[in-house]
């Protein structure tokens, strides 16, 4: 591959820019990928394209009060950049950390903001992807041509969140707001507020706004598991007191957290009732014996079938205990002029309704893909290790973990992509495409994720849009960091499942 970017006029109306690699997305995955390219394959020409006006992805889009991670930053942070703050971080702290990675590695010159990609077409004749898009600031058409496309576009639509349609919504006198598009002018002072939802976003928002509102009600259809604790890491604090270098602390604390998490995940699978009892005992201790924990905090699913949100310092429960916040577990019947009528017949009044009802999953950044003129239908493809797809050459997608921090997988895939690029060079090949082995072709094609393994709403709503998996580790996203940290680096690039040309 060439190591310099060149330009030419592919069409009269748009100038094509040629690069060795194009990364779509400047979130935590895209910035990490840029780091891996510059450090593991110096001299590679590449750009990082993002539709937004700056880096950060998720952490830039979400601006609702209290926005913070629910994973610890020792593992949500990159393996190569020590995290020195509190384990659970605000969006601002995460953006600062990412900004330092960009500055320390001189990545800014590679990033183009306000560049939205709309189509991606592969040509086997030239062995290149042609990406067409638009500059969202000027409306100017843009085109990039590259042999290798690294998709770091996340998994949900950034422009708006998911709001179910309830009868009567248009009757409501107040304001209905989705946390993903939080209005700058929203003043909650002395307002009666209902937050609909039970996930990490609702649990973050409620304590963050409880002090301002007259009262905030968390209205949930069904409960979620929460785990509480201090927003500090004892091991890190102890090592810091011994003046151990931050690089060491980062690595040791990562290993400790991952070790402990593996134990919890194992226990949750083997003894779900015991883990459930432990989690609920913690909630009881926070809310007192009189509180109806069974109704409001005892989920129907097993621990870890959905993400368990961490509540630093139990702030959500503190708001409930002091009466600033309350929880209602019920179904919405109708939105009324004054609030919400519930299936039980009860009515809740509100000035503002916040719909913390999740994301809209979007496959591959809403980009229309084609291979040699044929549109790519993602559900017709099978995923190779949850990162490449049958019949789609020279393309890798970073989809992180749900049970462990996303970024752990972004780092593993970074190594994989650099290995694949080196292997293409060694072979003198231009094209690498996942193909099923003859004996795998007739195996049953299963949905992307086993719903018994992991079943959050946004995934269940949109599973039909995603690629398929086979009942073999090579052909699925296992969601298991502890297995993949061994298997992904050891992938045999010549076992016949990757076809080179
Ligand atoms: C509120 C919230 C909290 C979360 N907390 C955690 C957590 O604590 N731990 C955890 O592991 N995970 C968490 N997640 C999941 C989280 O999304 C990922 O961990 C991670 O931030 C995803 O990073 P990413 O870079 O892959 O994607 P994103 O952050 O989604 O970034 C993708 C970028 O790609 C750009 N893009 C998309 N399509 C196009 C296109 N067509 N053209 C140009 N640009 C495009 C977008 O503009 C965006 O900037 C959270 C998610 C949310 C919404």
For atom 48 of ligand 1, the residue with the nearest CA is 57
Mutate to test the pocket of ligand 1, among 22, 23, 25, 77 (most ligand atoms within 8 A of CB): 25
Distance 155 CA to ligand 1 centre (A): 7
The total of other beta-carbon atoms located within 10 Å of residue 277's CB is 12
The upper half-sphere exposure of residue 501, i.e. CA atoms within 13 Å in the direction of its Cβ, equals: 14
User: How far is it, in rounded angstroms, from Cα 496 to Cα 472?
Assistant: 15
* pLDDT value at residue 3: 37
User: How far is it, in rounded angstroms, from Cα 310 to Cα 303?
Assistant: 13
**Under a CB-based contact definition with an 8 Å cutoff, are residues 376 and 394 in contact?**
no
Task: Report how far apart, in Å, the C-alpha atoms of 48 and of each of 44, 102, 157, 431, 498 are.
Answer: 13, 12, 18, 21, 26
Distance 5 CA to ligand 1 centre (A): 28
The answer, yes or no, to whether any atom of ligand 1 lies below 6 A from the CB of 479, is: no
Task: Report how far apart, in Å, the C-alpha atoms of 363 and of each of 156, 367, 493 are.
Answer: 7, 8, 26
DSSP 417: H
Residues 409-419: b if buried by 16+ CB within 10 A, e if exposed: bbbbbbebbbe
Domains parsed from the chain with CATH numbers: 3-159+360-500 (3.50.50.60), 169-355 (3.50.50.60)
Predicted confidence (pLDDT) per residue in 120-144, tens digit: 999 999 999 999 999 999 999 999 9
Atom in ligand 1 nearest the alpha carbon of residue 69: 8
* pLDDT value at residue 460: 86
Would strands 388-389 and 141-146 be described as parallel, antiparallel, or unpaired?
A: unpaired
Three-state helix/strand/coil letters over 260-309: HHHHHHHHHHHCHHHHHHHHHHHHHHHHCCCCCHHHHHCCCCCCCCCCCE
* pLDDT value at residue 251: 98
Instruction: Using a pLDDT cut of 70, give the percent of the chain over it.
Output: 98
Predicted confidence (pLDDT) per residue in 35-82, tens digit: 999 999 999 999 999 999 999 999 999 999 999 998 999 999 999 999
Atom in ligand 1 nearest the alpha carbon of residue 156: 30
The answer, yes or no, to whether any atom of ligand 1 lies below 6 A from the CB of 49, is: yes
Considering the entire predicted model, what is its pTM? 0.95
Measured in whole angstroms, the distance separating CA 23 from the mean position of its chain's CA atoms is: 16
The upper half-sphere exposure of residue 455, i.e. CA atoms within 13 Å in the direction of its Cβ, equals: 10
Atom in ligand 1 nearest the alpha carbon of residue 57: 49
Mean pLDDT of the chain: 94
User: How far is it, in rounded angstroms, from Cα 130 to Cα 147?
Assistant: 9
Mutate to test the pocket of ligand 1, among 60, 136, 154, 400 (most ligand atoms within 8 A of CB): 154
For atom 52 of ligand 1, the residue with the nearest CA is 58
Least confident of 138-142, 302-306, 476-480: 302-306
User: How far is it, in rounded angstroms, from Cα 219 to Cα 96?
Assistant: 34
Task: Report how far apart, in Å, the C-alpha atoms of 298 and of each of 280, 292, 301, 348, 489 are.
Answer: 7, 10, 9, 22, 39
Rounded (5°) CA angle 202-365-42: 110
* pLDDT value at residue 10: 44
- Taking alpha carbons only, the member of 80, 72, 112, 94 closest to residue 415 is 80
Q: Which residues contact 203 (CB under 8 A, 6 or more apart)?
A: 218, 224, 226, 309, 311, 316
Mutate to test the pocket of ligand 1, among 63, 70, 153 (most ligand atoms within 8 A of CB): 153
The answer, yes or no, to whether any atom of ligand 1 lies below 6 A from the CB of 87, is: no
Residue 33 has pLDDT above 80, yes or no: yes
Atom in ligand 1 nearest the alpha carbon of residue 359: 53
Strands (DSSP E) contained in 96-171 are 111-112, 115-123, 128-135, 141-146, 148-151
Average pLDDT over residues 268-296: 94
Distance 28 CA to ligand 1 centre (A): 7
* pLDDT value at residue 31: 99
The answer, yes or no, to whether any atom of ligand 1 lies below 6 A from the CB of 69, is: yes
The answer, yes or no, to whether any atom of ligand 1 lies below 6 A from the CB of 367, is: yes
Residue 305 has pLDDT above 80, yes or no: no
Residue 340: left (phi > 0), alpha (psi -120 to 50), or beta?
Answer: beta
Residue 6 has pLDDT above 90, yes or no: no
The answer, yes or no, to whether any atom of ligand 1 lies below 6 A from the CB of 199, is: no
Distance 156 CA to ligand 1 centre (A): 7
Residue 5 has pLDDT above 60, yes or no: no
Residue 19 has pLDDT above 90, yes or no: yes
* pLDDT value at residue 212: 94
Atom in ligand 1 nearest the alpha carbon of residue 32: 25
For atom 16 of ligand 1, the residue with the nearest CA is 58
Least confident of 86-100, 241-255, 305-319, 355-369: 305-319
Distance 58 CA to ligand 1 centre (A): 4
**Under a CB-based contact definition with an 8 Å cutoff, are residues 363 and 151 in contact?**
no
Distance 211 CA to ligand 1 centre (A): 29
Percent of the chain as helix, strand, coil, to the nearest 5: 35, 25, 45
Mutate to test the pocket of ligand 1, among 406, 458, 477 (most ligand atoms within 8 A of CB): 406
The answer, yes or no, to whether any atom of ligand 1 lies below 6 A from the CB of 47, is: no
Measured in whole angstroms, the distance separating CA 7 from the mean position of its chain's CA atoms is: 34
Rounded (5°) CA angle 110-115-117: 110
Average pLDDT over residues 177-195: 97
* pLDDT value at residue 273: 93
The total of other beta-carbon atoms located within 10 Å of residue 195's CB is 30
Q: Hey, CA dihedral for 24, 26, 29, 31, is it positive or negative? A: positive
The answer, yes or no, to whether any atom of ligand 1 lies below 6 A from the CB of 394, is: no
User: How far is it, in rounded angstroms, from Cα 131 to Cα 123?
Assistant: 11
Alpha-carbon Rg for the chain in angstroms: 24
Q: Which residues pair with 361 in a beta bridge?
A: 156
Measured in whole angstroms, the distance separating CA 431 from the mean position of its chain's CA atoms is: 29
The answer, yes or no, to whether any atom of ligand 1 lies below 6 A from the CB of 210, is: no
Distance 306 CA to ligand 1 centre (A): 18
Give the residue, 310 or 355, on which the prediction is more confident. 355
* pLDDT value at residue 309: 82
* pLDDT value at residue 451: 82
Residue 1 has pLDDT above 50, yes or no: no
Return the C-alpha torsion angle 121, 122, 127, 131, nearest 10.
30
User: How far is it, in rounded angstroms, from Cα 477 to Cα 279?
Assistant: 28
User: How far is it, in rounded angstroms, from Cα 154 to Cα 135?
Assistant: 20
Distance 400 CA to ligand 1 centre (A): 10
**Under a CB-based contact definition with an 8 Å cutoff, are residues 193 and 339 in contact?**
no
Residue 383 has pLDDT above 80, yes or no: yes
The answer, yes or no, to whether any atom of ligand 1 lies below 6 A from the CB of 27, is: yes
* Total length of the chain: 501
Q: Which residues contact 259 (CB under 8 A, 6 or more apart)?
A: none
């Amino acid at each position: 591959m060439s190591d310099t970017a060149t330009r030419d006029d592919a069409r009269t109306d748009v100038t094509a820019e040629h690069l060795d690699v194009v990364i779509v997305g400047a979130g935590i995955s895209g910035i990490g990928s840029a780091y891996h390219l510059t450090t593991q394959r110096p001299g590679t020409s590449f750009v990082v394209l993002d539709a937004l006006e700056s880096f950060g992805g998720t952490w830039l889009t979400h601006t609702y009060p209290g926005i913070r991670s629910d994973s610890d930053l020792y593992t949500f942070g990159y393996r190569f950049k020590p995290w020195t703050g509190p384990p659970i971080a605000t969006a601002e702290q995460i953006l600062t950390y990412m900004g330092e990675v960009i500055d320390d590695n001189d990545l800014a010159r590679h990033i183009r903001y306000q560049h939205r990609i709309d189509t991606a077409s592969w040509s086997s004749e030239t062995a290149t992807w042609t990406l067409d898009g638009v500059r969202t600031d000027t409306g100017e058409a843009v085109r990039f041509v590259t042999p290798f496309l690294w998709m770091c576009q996340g998994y949900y639509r950034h422009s708006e969140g998911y709001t179910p349609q309830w009868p009567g919504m248009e009757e409501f006198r107040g304001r209905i707001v989705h946390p993903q598009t939080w209005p700058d002018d929203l003043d909650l002072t002395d307002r009666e507020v209902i937050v609909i939802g039970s996930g990490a976003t609702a649990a973050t928002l409620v304590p963050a706004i409880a002090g301002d509102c007259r009262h905030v009600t968390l209205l949930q259809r069904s409960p979620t598991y929460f785990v509480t604790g201090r927003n500090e890491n004892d091991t890190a604090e102890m090592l810091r007191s011994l003046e151990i270098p931050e690089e060491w602390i980062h690595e040791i604390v990562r290993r400790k957290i991952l070790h402990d998490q593996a134990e919890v995940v194992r226990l949750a699978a083997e003894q779900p009732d015991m883990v459930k009892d432990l989690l609920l005992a913690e909630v009881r201790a926070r809310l007192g014996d009189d509180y109806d924990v069974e109704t409001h905090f005892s989920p129907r699913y097993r621990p870890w079938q959905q993400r368990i949100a961490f509540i630093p310092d139990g702030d959500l429960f503190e708001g409930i205990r002091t009466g600033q916040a309350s929880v209602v577990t019920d179904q919405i019947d109708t939105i009324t002029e004054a609030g919400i009528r519930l299936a039980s017949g009860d009515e809740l009044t509100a000035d503002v309704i916040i719909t913390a009802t999740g994301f809209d999953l979007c496959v591959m950044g809403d980009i229309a893909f084609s291979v040699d003129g044929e549109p790519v239908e993602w559900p017709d493809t099978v995923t190779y290790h949850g990162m490449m797809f049958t019949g789609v050459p020279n393309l890798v997608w970073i989809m992180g973990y749900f049970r462990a921090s996303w970024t752990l997988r972004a780092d593993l895939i970074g190594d994989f992509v650099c290995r694949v690029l080196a292997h293409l060079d060694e072979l003198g090949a231009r094209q690498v495409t996942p193909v099923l082995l003859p004996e795998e072709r007739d195996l049953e094609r299963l949905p992307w994720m086993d719903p018994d393994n992991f079943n959050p709403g946004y995934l269940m709503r949109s599973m039909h849009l995603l690629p398929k998996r086979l009942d073999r580790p090579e052909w699925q996203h296992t969601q298991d960091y502890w297995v993949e940290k061994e298997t992904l680096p050891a992938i045999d690039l010549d076992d016949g499942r990757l076809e080179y040309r």
